[in-house]
Structure 1
Amino acid sequence: MEINSNNNIPLYQQYAEKFRQMILNKEISVGERFPAEIDLAEKYGVARITIRKAINELVQDDLLVRKRGKGTFVAEPKIERKLVNVASFTERMQSRGIRAGARCIDVKVINADDKLSKKLRIPKKSEVVELVRLRLSNNVPVALERSYLPSEAYPGIEKENLEDNSLYQILESKYQTRPGHSSKTLELTRATSLEAKLLKTSVGSPLFLMISTVFTEENQVMEYVEILFLGDRFRFQVY
């Protein structure tokens, strides 16, 4: 991009657009340190404040991220997620060209307590499959998912290979069940020590907590799920 000091567009905005194109064209890779303000100012022969304002714009647009004591780096792109969508995590990631994956932390059969009895609309103490998985984006942890499914509706589901396979695809192919709609809530929480360890983040880091009840096309409860998303990796759409 050509920089024109006589342009009506402020100089810092022109540099912001120049740097934006450098990032989008992958001249600087994700995770790579962005050149220092003083080096860019000397390179382009402009005031350091001009470069700083340009970089600030890209930080606000989530293209760059500042790390205290380390510098400014090209940020991982935000993962867009629509709240009204009931597609699987795998399908959402693949539609964006992102390689989705999962690592099973735990899978077991438990008895429904009062909470699960109400959420799954089953008698108390009924058998429920609890599935805890770490969701991956390009092999990097981005979410921690805890799912609950009624055992009676999906016998043997806990024996399936759920490591890198879509749960919804298994439910459709083996149990002829498809998600129809869901009810969701979203709130902000903070990572516990265990959550931080699994998600490779710091204790107290902001996380989105999504709580969802998924219904089949026949309006039967299919799944109750609680998902913790890394706060700096996701952006949610409400339409």
Structure 2
Amino acid sequence: MEKNNEKPLYLQFAEMFRQMILNGELNVGDMLPPEIELAKTYSVARITIRKAINELVQDHLLIRRVGNGTFVSEPKIERELVSVAGFTERLQSRGIKAGAITIEVNRMKADMKMANLLLIPQGSEIVEIVRLRLIHEVPVALEYSYLPLTLFPDIDKESFDNNSLYLLLENKYSIRPYHSSKTLELTRATNKEAKLLELSKGAPLFLMMATVFTEDNRVMEYVKTLFIGERFRFQVY
């Protein structure tokens, strides 16, 4: 490090650690040595190392885990708010290995709220599909999909593990998503959600709710998705 450099010393260390991550000297999941050890290694004050690490935490390149240490974090996953592409297709198009585990598939009668959301008569049969979304086999989201059986007869008999729901709907029923309306809000993980997503209870989550329409403006799906807060960044175009 150049101590006579105009750039503050902690920023020089931040840039050094940044380059180590970008060059692959430090990989996702690697733990940094303790601050006091890094301070001794580079013969600088511990506060210098701490400020350098804080810079990279703010840039989402590092993540602090209380009681465990500081680790190289997974990069944020970009998620478009306006896109109607499916989760699997969206991520696989970027070279990200996406998958899904089916938690539940339930056939039920639409209550008043769900009937209004799907624009169907109350009491109509619908299917609820609950899936855990994975990236590189690690849980990142929990998804609840609701489909009207009038559009998709016997859809509850299909397999949804590691399959694209939208591709299945298009291939079997010749129905594809055309546009959608979405809302996004912050929430906290319940006990059940935390267990499935491998989080602590109360961890921050993004809750996205979407109504998905066909080209002729029928509602084909209502979907609620809980995204792990630290793994996603949402874009608006």
| Range into which the TM-score falls when normalised by the shorter chain | over 0.9
Give the corresponding residue for 1:22: 20
> What is the letter of the counterpart of residue 64 of structure 2?
R
TM-score by length of 2: 0.95
Give the corresponding residue for 2:219: 221
Q: Higher mean Cα deviation, 111-120 or 22-31?
A: 22-31
Give the corresponding residue for 2:167: 169
> What is the letter of the counterpart of residue 9 of structure 2?
L
Q: Secondary structure at the match of 1:12?
A: helix
CA–CA separation in structure 1 for the residues paired with 2:120 and 2:38 = 63
Give the corresponding residue for 2:55: 57
Give the corresponding residue for 1:233: 231
Give the corresponding residue for 1:190: 188
Q: Secondary structure at the match of 1:152?
A: coil
Q: Secondary structure at the match of 2:212?
A: strand
Q: Secondary structure at the match of 1:145?
A: strand
Q: Could you give the per-residue CA deviations for residues 165-213 of structure 1, whole angstroms, max 9, x where no partner exists? A: 0001111111111211111111111111111111110111111111110
CA–CA separation in structure 1 for the residues paired with 2:68 and 2:120 = 52
Candidates 25, 29, 32, aligned match of 1:31:
29
Instruction: Provide the alpha-carbon RMSD of the alignment.
Output: 1.3
Give the corresponding residue for 1:96: 94
CA–CA separation in structure 2 for the residues paired with 1:174 and 1:5 = 66
> What is the letter of the counterpart of residue 11 of structure 2?
Q
Give the corresponding residue for 1:150: 148
Q: Secondary structure at the match of 1:232?
A: helix
Percent identity over the alignment?
Answer: 66
Candidates 74, 78, 81, aligned match of 1:80:
78
Q: Could you give the per-residue CA deviations for residues 83-108 of structure 1, whole angstroms, max 9, x where no partner exists? A: 11111100122133221111111112
Q: Secondary structure at the match of 1:148?
A: strand
CA–CA separation in structure 2 for the residues paired with 1:78 and 1:46 = 31
Q: Give, in angstroms, the shift of residue 160 of structure 1.
A: 1.6
Q: Could you give the per-residue CA deviations for residues 87-137 of structure 1, whole angstroms, max 9, x where no partner exists? A: 110012213322111111111211111011111111111110110101111
Q: Higher mean Cα deviation, 47-56 or 115-124?
A: 47-56
Give the corresponding residue for 2:104: 106
Provide the aligned length of Structure 1 versus Structure 2: 237
> What is the letter of the counterpart of residue 49 of structure 2?
I
Q: Give, in angstroms, the shift of residue 42 of structure 1.
A: 2.1
User: 5+ unaligned residues in a row in structure 2: which ranges?
Assistant: none
TM-score by length of 1: 0.95
